[in-house]
Chain A
Amino acid sequence: QQQVKQSPQSLIVQKGGISIINCAYENTAFDYFPWYQQFPGKGPALLIAIRPDVSEKKEGRFTISFNKSAKQFSLHIMDSQPGDSATYFCAASRRAGGGADGLTFGKGTHLIIQP
């Protein structure tokens, strides 16, 4: 059972354009939704994260939009640059209670920004 579904699998965007990656989750207990960026040969690096009490969070060129009723969230990369070319993963976890559930990741989106 895939609890976090990510699309598209791959994406090509022109330099300066907006890259949009979407995720949907099933487990309503999830309350933490991060996005990770991964370059070849490296571990994932946290980009930005959101909790379900807000509908949008912006950090620089990166914005997460969150729709709790639809159980969907998305990453928007504004003014996309060739250096943004990487694999992006959405993830979700349950943080409540002070313990730690592991993150459940989507399958990833391979993003290519064309110069």
Chain B
Amino acid sequence: GAGVSQSPRYKVAKRGQDVALRCDPISGHVSLFWYQQALGQGPEFLTYFQNEAQLDKSGLPSDRFFAERPEGSVSTLKIQRTQQEDSAVYLCASSASRGSDGYTFGSGTRLTVV
């Protein structure tokens, strides 16, 4: 596609529920990043994939957060047993290069945990 596509755009989850957020990167892009953006804050790095390999997951806030990119294209961010503090916009970005420069963000998934 022309850009990075994320779905759903909005998700309301009850506390304790599991959620899965999808990212369709730009076709052929090698690098894929997930970020978490709390209200009124800058995005914070969660994890990075180069093709199907998860090279950095140092930003994942707890073991309830899990990301995968099994075929080096579509990626899924899964949050188990959601908590209220997980409420945020989750942004996905992809890049044609093996670096963090010049990448394109999707519009994000706004997760609200009630």
Contacts and interface: CB of A to CB of B under 8 A. Distances in A.
A71 interface: no
A107 B43 CA distance: 8
Nearest to A36: B105
Contacts of A17: none
B99 interface: yes
B100 A42 contact: no
Interface residues of B, number: 30
Contacts of B98: 98-100
Interface string A85-100: 0000101010100111
Interface string B76-114: 000000000000000101010011111111111000000
A98 B108 CA distance: 27
B113 to A, nearest CB: 20
Contact of B50 (A100, A103, A104): A100
Given A42-B107, A43-B107, A43-B108, A105 B101 contact: no
A45 B103 CA distance: 9
Contacts of A32: 99-101
A104 B56 CA distance: 14
